[in-house]
Structure 1
């Protein structure tokens, strides 16, 4: 196949989730609904936290940051997919594709880091309650978010710049609904050994360290809970951690599920369908998980709805 320089390339073709033309309106409607639900749900989380002074705590600061990140995460992939279906044009320019790769890596990695930061916050609150205001003061909270963002940007730029050095063939069909890093690397005509090694090494570091941090935090939390004499105290602790554990399980469970399915399932299109879980469904369900299992959030939503319903 003919190799072309990236500066001369015109476009990639995103093949989407199905070749069946009759399913495209259904897919469009489904993803548009999930996108709008995600935007609305996460915006309500942010507005509820901002409007209620009782929620101006580190835990809800991180939750509002996570909700904003979820909005950005899903916006990097779904709108382009909806445009492609609506226009019946599967093409995406080289620059847009690389921008999508970089954005997806930034917000995916940031979600990973924020979940670890939230686990550390729960560890500090439960295991060191007297020192908690000092450990998680506002400056530390902002610093943790900024460091997480910086690490995510470095991680994304590392992979994106490595893709820039590749030469691509003229057959540029991506069996996915967005430009996913591994699929883009597979289309290269030049040697991709360094890129593949970078994926394994950097992903193990940037994903493995936060995940291990979550595990260690919850080991300490469970250990502290088991030493509590009051069953009411144990229930209160588990109720405050329950939402976070559900989100962690959903995010990492679907991520590992996609990784395992890609190793055993030959069809790359089926792997793309599975990736919908961690790239779209998780972001849509997060607001429901936190609002349905959290009494403070329910009260904040009630106050917000009363305020919005009251006449000016």
Structure 2
């Protein structure tokens, strides 16, 4: 595959534009990162979004999803040309309602051209992440039932392959950029996984009514929502510890993580207050709330006390659930 870029600025402009179309949240958080890693993380997110679009396509059978996931991974690893994935994927998703996701898939060659401009160590880390995610999602395609996953261990594994591995990738990229962070995180790598898993658990809980309506549950069978919220709260504690290991002078990296973390805390707190909700739209944070917290991150990112105070104040119901279950 030809990895040269004829119009690098055009490709990067597309990456920035489509990011804003497919994810309101990450379109806010990723630009907070230092420019050298903003492009890398944005590109990785788009690759993961393509894999996720295949997983979430309700019209596809598990076998179709597995076949497309394999083709996508082969394209990312350079084993086959992009058209060998794009054409069958778009054909399979003809009835897909999200036109931005279809546009992203059609522009897979653009996303890959940007990927191939990165240093080899970044490309290797991204390839590892996409490999684990694609293979992991394929493994779970046959486990989509309304009863849920087998047990807590399988649930943790699912959250790892779709999000925990992204926490590992971020840690690798952050460490290349900041040797001080690489030193701080040494021996605490588990926190990176918890950071990713906390965000994924938030999505699973928020999306549960919609997933259940289409005959799918990603929660562990026989486990109550209160029990899941307790586990999510524990993952959030690990997530905060992770953010506090980022050097205080790395404001962009801290704000990126703090914004994603804070929105997850407030969403889970809302779910804890409305455990019988039947519509995920009711659990969405208002745009005003998001922007107020966005502003707060400017003040709090370099202040450990402010971050800890926010978490304590904003997670009261979650904390009570945890205390009550002891």
TM-score tier, shorter chain, comes to 0.3 to 0.5
Which structure has the higher relative contact order (CA within 8 Å, separation 6+)?
1
Larger radius of gyration: 1
Normalized against structure 1, the TM-score is what?
A: 0.34
* Bigger proportion of residues as strand: 1
* TM-score w.r.t. length of structure 2: 0.33
